[in-house]
Amino acid sequence: MMEYKRLKRELVAKGSIIDYYIDTMQIPNGNTEQWDFIKHKGAAAMVAIDQDGNLLMVRQYRNALERNTLEIPAGGLNPGEDMKTAATRELEEETGYRSEHIEHLVDINTTVAFCNEKIGIYYATDLIESKQHLDENEFLKVERHSISELEKMIYAGEITDSKTIVAVLAIKDKFGTNGIA
């Protein structure tokens, strides 16, 4: 129905986790516009559900928001890594738990107006204690919360991270407040 044509994509700057481009677009009425494009390598996240139906969450400082946030474990893809492998790896690195029972939950694009970031969200049950191994420059705290508690925090504005809200609401939608424990 709509005919858009990209006439040019110009790299403005390469960052540590994103690259910034300016796209010159021809839009359906024939006009030309310059649009921002932020290129991201993709990420993966894991809902980890313990034997009591609680979710393993990480609290960490987010410079972009200038505060600590409560999120599900997640991280960027390593080169050549698929989403499920990345989610599984991030779970173990950030929380010290692994699992052999991992299923796909849902995929999201975080902010479609200017960025191609895609996050694959998975869920893990039958957690096995392993060993946390954070990057040298990574600092976070692991917490456990029930789905009901997390839901209250979402509507109270205490959890605002989009992937975390999608994950909690999707798990509740599929399995109810007791999760699948």
The CB density around residue 126, as the number of other CB atoms within 10 Å, is 13
Side-chain half-sphere exposure of 147, counting CA atoms within 13 A: 22
Binding part of the chain for its own copies, among 46-54, 56-64, 82-90, 93-101 by CB under 8 A, reads 56-64
Tokens of 8: 């040019």
Among 106, 145, 146, 175, binds its own copies (CB under 8 A): 106
- Tell me if residue 136 is catalytic: yes
Give how many residues touch its own copies by CB under 8 A. 67
Span of 20-28, 45-53, 78-86, 91-99 interacting with its own copies by CB under 8 A: 20-28
Residue 51 is a binding residue for its own copies (CB under 8 A) = no
Backbone angles phi, psi at 53, to 5 degrees: 85, 10
Q: Judged by CB under 8 A, does residue 7 bind its own copies?
A: no
Residue selected from 51, 80, 112, 129 as contacting its own copies according to rule CB under 8 A: 112
For residue 54, the 8-state DSSP code is P
Three-state DSSP class for residue 37: strand
**Residue 60 in the binding site for its own copies (CB under 8 A):** yes
CB of 65 to its own copies, least distance (A): 6
Tell me which residues in 124-143 interact with its own copies (CB under 8 A): 136-137, 139, 141
How many angstroms separate the CA atoms of 1 and 94, rounded? 45
Of 51 and 136, nearer to its own copies (C-beta) is: 136
Question: Does residue 175 bind its own copies (CB under 8 A)?
Answer: no
Which residue, 20 or 180, has its beta carbon nearer to its own copies? Answer: 20
Tally of CB atoms within 10 A around 116:
15
CA 134 to chain centre: 17
By CB under 8 A, is residue 11 in contact with its own copies?
no
Regarding 20 and contact with its own copies (CB under 8 A), the answer is: yes
Residue type at 145 in one-letter notation = H
Sheet of 141-145: strands edge to edge?
Answer: 67-71, 55-62, 141-145
